[in-house]
Structure formats: C-alpha cells, structure tokens
C-alpha cells in the first residue's frame, strides 16, 4: 500500500516553539496544552491545536532524550 501524501510532522511546531512550550511547562507544571495555544500564537504567530502541541512535545522530549 502506498504511503499517504502530505506533510508527516507538525511544520508549525518547530524546535524553537517546542523549547518555548517546554520552558513554560517547566515554570508552571499546572499548565495544559490548551493554555499554551495563546502564548504560542502571540510569540510565534502560528495557530495550533492543543493536541498538536501534545504530540509535538512528546516527539521533542523523545528526541531530547536520545541526544
């Protein structure tokens, strides 16, 4: 079966955006992904869904672990 066409990762959620989100979560562990939507849009000019943030942070954390 052929692979699905289209982007395979969160192109809006760059490493810089993920690092920003991680820093916000480290400063306030009570924050949730939906609480990061506004600050990410204000600082980086991209609108993202909370679930996209959760998935991107999971990938970011995995990638950071393997370094």
Q: How far, in Å, CA of 37 to CA of 52, rounded?
A: 10
**Per residue in 18-61, pLDDT tens?**
999 999 999 999 999 999 999 999 999 999 999 999 999 999 99
| pLDDT in the model for residue 5 | 86
Higher pLDDT: 66 or 46? It is 46
Q: How far, in Å, CA of 24 to CA of 41, rounded?
A: 14
CA separation, residue 30 to residues 2, 13, 33, 40, 64 (Å)? 42, 21, 10, 17, 22
pTM comes to 0.83
Categorize the per-residue pLDDT at 66 as very low, low, confident or very high, splitting at 50, 70 and 90. confident
Domain spans in the chain, listed from the N-terminal domain onward: 15-65
User: In this model, does residue 9 exceed pLDDT 80?
Assistant: no
């Amino acid at each position: 079966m052929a692979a699905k066409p289209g982007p395979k990762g969160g192109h809006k959620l760059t490493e810089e955006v993920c690092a920003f989100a991680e820093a916000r979560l480290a400063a306030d562990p009570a924050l949730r992904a939906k609480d990061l939507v506004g600050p990410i849009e204000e600082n980086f000019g991209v609108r993202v869904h909370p679930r996209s943030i959760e998935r991107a942070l999971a990938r970011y954390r995995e990638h950071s672990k393997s370094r």
